[in-house]
């Protein structure tokens, strides 16, 4: 007869003997293998995250000034400093250097400029050979006041400004070359750690590439603005009985908005504004040709604005059939207080005075280059003494970001709100209208729209 079997319990084998000894309680958790490596990896991830955030902020800057400010602040955070100085200068160019301070006022910058350049770490970074180790890795001066060889003037300035150490770094990369240098100041003796130097070096090389792109972009914008200004009147004519003022802003890519004011026979005056479709050098060149042609037609037959624009339409259709443009031409006789105007797809003028503020009712017409035949007649009106006729391009309306009907209402409100004391000054009228329409300013860099405003005040 076999021995009885013990009952089976889930998870327990009854045939395995149970130990009679109790294991000692676990008093401490042993360190996991590779904990040191994990800590190092966590530190690297944190550093790379910080570097990524700083470079993202730098990449979002659209102007050179904003990028330089961001670079100074980010570099100070990376090396643990509170103040800094940056000098941007490109070898082989005639562009003047740019100096920017962090935590330093104009007087502080003036004191620093009195120190001989070769006596400072920043000067050695800027003037040293590019292949030198200092030019690549930067120069740390952990104890300025304890340096027996320190230039006396440098010691005096450091004592006056209250900094005891510095770290200078070049702004250089293989592609962009050396653009300048930066130095950060410490209130107490010290220097950045090896890790901090590595991070700020990576950041500085990326920043150099970004600064090089922004420098070229701003140089191109400056060239475009110069060409655009040369294509427009260098000065406005002086005609008895009328005073003129104009404001113009060219977009960063260069646009085709333009204006003109030219004296005509018998003390008459021709006023014109217009806009060529597109942007860039092609639109600017077309704008120059269109304006020059209109001047010729205005001299020949300015008394008939419809004939002037008809000739311009024919010229544009024959020479540039793929291009469109809008234009408005006004023939003014200040002595007779008479204005005759015609428009081709252009916004109507606005008349502002003590008794009225209203748009001139012009006839509708398609833009130049889109007309099968000219059908829109001219319009004649008489400005009263003290009234101002405001001509403008639709870029002024589009810059507001509103729908066109709201933009027209906004322009009317801006003109009506001109103080009475300023209504006899065309420059004051244009400036007030622009401030009311564009609170961020006429030179806002993120706008691609050209803006033209031409004001004629009749005495």
Q: Which helix (H) or strand (E) holds 102?
A: strand 98-102
Q: What is the pLDDT of residues 74-84, one digit of tens each?
A: 999 999 999 99
Q: Which helix (H) or strand (E) holds 252?
A: none
Residues 218 and 241 in one domain: no
**Structural domain harbouring 255:** 232-458
Q: Does 446 reside within a domain?
A: yes
pLDDT band at 255 (very low <50, low <70, confident <90, very high): confident
Instruction: Write down the pLDDT at residue 42.
Output: 75
The mean of the pLDDT values for the chain is: 85
Tokens found for residue 444: 């806002």
Residues 432 and 363 in one domain: yes
Instruction: Write down the pLDDT at residue 36.
Output: 65
Residues 321 and 435 in one domain: yes
pLDDT band at 201 (very low <50, low <70, confident <90, very high): very high
pLDDT band at 409 (very low <50, low <70, confident <90, very high): very high
Instruction: Write down the pLDDT at residue 294.
Output: 93
Which of 223, 242, 264 terminates a domain? The answer is: 223
pLDDT greater at residue 281 or residue 412: 412
pLDDT greater at residue 286 or residue 95: 286
- For the segment 388-403, the average pLDDT, to the nearest whole number, is 92
Instruction: Write down the pLDDT at residue 254.
Output: 66
Contact present, 79 and 67 (Cβ < 8 Å): no
Residues 422 and 342 in one domain: yes
Answer yes or no: is pLDDT of 419 > 90: yes
Distance CA 407, CA 4 (A): 100
Instruction: Write down the pLDDT at residue 253.
Output: 67
> What is the DSSP secondary-structure string of 119-149?
GSHHHHHHHS-TTSHHHHH-EEES-STT-TT
Q: What is the pLDDT of residues 25-59, one digit of tens each?
A: 545 555 555 676 777 777 778 888 888 999 999 99
Q: Does 443 reside within a domain?
A: yes
Q: Does 353 reside within a domain?
A: yes
Answer yes or no: is pLDDT of 60 > 60: yes
Q: Does 115 reside within a domain?
A: yes
Q: Does 449 reside within a domain?
A: yes
Residues 392 and 315 in one domain: yes
* Burial of 457 (C-beta count, 10 Å sphere; 0-12/13-18/19+): buried
* pTM value > 0.75: no
Instruction: Write down the pLDDT at residue 333.
Output: 95
Residues 78 and 153 in one domain: yes
Report how far apart, in Å, the C-alpha atoms of 239 and of each of 207, 243, 264 are.
53, 7, 10
Residues 303 and 356 in one domain: yes
Instruction: Write down the pLDDT at residue 9.
Output: 40
pLDDT band at 374 (very low <50, low <70, confident <90, very high): low
- For the segment 166-173, the average pLDDT, to the nearest whole number, is 92
Instruction: Write down the pLDDT at residue 223.
Output: 75
Q: Does 76 reside within a domain?
A: yes
Which of 199, 223, 247 terminates a domain? The answer is: 223
Residues 239 and 187 in one domain: no
Residues 110 and 160 in one domain: yes
pLDDT band at 62 (very low <50, low <70, confident <90, very high): confident
Which of 223, 246, 267 terminates a domain? The answer is: 223
Instruction: Write down the pLDDT at residue 58.
Output: 94
* Burial of 33 (C-beta count, 10 Å sphere; 0-12/13-18/19+): exposed
Q: What is the pLDDT of residues 439-458, one digit of tens each?
A: 877 665 456 788 999 999 99
Q: How many CB atoms lie within 10 A of CB 417?
A: 11
Residues 185 and 124 in one domain: yes
Q: Which residues contact 172 (CB under 8 A, 6 or more apart)?
A: 130, 135, 136, 178, 179, 204, 205, 208
Highest mean pLDDT out of 320-324, 364-368, 385-389? 385-389
User: What is the domain count for the chain?
Assistant: 2
- For the segment 409-437, the average pLDDT, to the nearest whole number, is 95
CATH code for position 73:
3.30.450.40
Instruction: Write down the pLDDT at residue 440.
Output: 76
Residues 166 and 259 in one domain: no
Q: Does 384 reside within a domain?
A: yes
Answer yes or no: is pLDDT of 97 > 90: no
Sign of CA dihedral 125, 123, 218, 73: positive
Residues 206 and 292 in one domain: no
Q: Does 389 reside within a domain?
A: yes
pLDDT band at 119 (very low <50, low <70, confident <90, very high): very high
CATH code for position 287:
3.60.40.10
Q: What are phi and psi of 189, to 5 degrees?
A: -55, 135
Answer yes or no: is pLDDT of 8 > 50: no
Q: What percent of the chain has pLDDT over 70?
A: 85
């Amino acid at each position: 007869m076999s021995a009885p079997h013990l009952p089976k319990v889930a998870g327990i084998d009854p045939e395995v003997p149970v130990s009679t000894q109790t294991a000692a309680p676990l008093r401490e958790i042993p360190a996991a293998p590779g904990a040191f490596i994990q800590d190092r990896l966590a530190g690297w991830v944190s550093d790379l995250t910080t570097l990524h955030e700083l470079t993202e902020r730098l990449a979002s800057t659209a102007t050179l000034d904003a990028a330089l400010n961001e670079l100074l602040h980010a570099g100070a955070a990376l090396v643990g400093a509170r103040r800094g100085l940056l000098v941007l200068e490109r070898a082989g160019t005639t562009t003047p250097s740019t100096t920017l301070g962090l935590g330093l006022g104009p007087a502080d910058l003036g004191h620093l400029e009195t120190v001989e350049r070769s006596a400072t770490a920043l000067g050695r970074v800027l003037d040293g050979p590019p292949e030198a180790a200092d030019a690549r890795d930067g120069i740390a001066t952990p104890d300025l006041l304890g340096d027996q060889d320190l230039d006396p003037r440098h010691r005096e300035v450091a004592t006056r400004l209250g900094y005891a150490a510095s770290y200078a770094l070049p702004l250089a990369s293989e592609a962009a070359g050396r653009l300048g240098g930066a130095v950060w100041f410490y209130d107490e003796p010290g220097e950045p750690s090896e890790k901090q130097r590595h991070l700020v070096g990576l950041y500085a090389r990326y920043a150099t590439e970004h600064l090089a792109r922004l420098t070229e972009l701003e140089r191109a914008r400056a060239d475009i603005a110069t060409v655009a200004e040369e294509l427009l009147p260098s000065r406005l004519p002086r005609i008895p009985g009328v005073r003129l003022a104009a404001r113009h802003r060219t977009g960063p890519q260069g646009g085709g908005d333009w204006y003109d004011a030219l004296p005509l026979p018998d003390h008459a005056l021709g006023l014109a504004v217009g806009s060529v479709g597109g942007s860039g050098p092609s639109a600017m060149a077309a704008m120059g040709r269109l304006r020059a042609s209109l001047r010729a037609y205005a001299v020949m037959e300015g008394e008939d604005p419809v004939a002037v624009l008809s000739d311009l339409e024919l010229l544009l259709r024959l020479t540039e059939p793929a291009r469109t443009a809008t234009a408005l031409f006004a023939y003014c006789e200040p002595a007779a207080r008479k204005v005759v105007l015609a428009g081709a797809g252009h916004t109507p003028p606005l008349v502002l005075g003590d008794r009225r503020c209203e748009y001139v009712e012009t006839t509708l017409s398609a833009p130049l280059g889109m007309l099968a035949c000219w059908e829109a007649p001219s319009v004649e009106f008489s400005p009263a003494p003290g009234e101002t006729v405001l001509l403008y391009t639709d870029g002024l309306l589009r810059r507001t970001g509103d729908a066109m009907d709201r933009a027209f209402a906004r322009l009317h409100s801006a003109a009506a709100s001109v103080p009475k004391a300023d209504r006899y000054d065309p420059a004051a009228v244009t400036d007030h209208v622009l401030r009311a329409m564009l609170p961020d300013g006429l030179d806002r860099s993120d706008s691609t729209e050209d803006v033209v405003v031409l004001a004629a005040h009749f005495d």
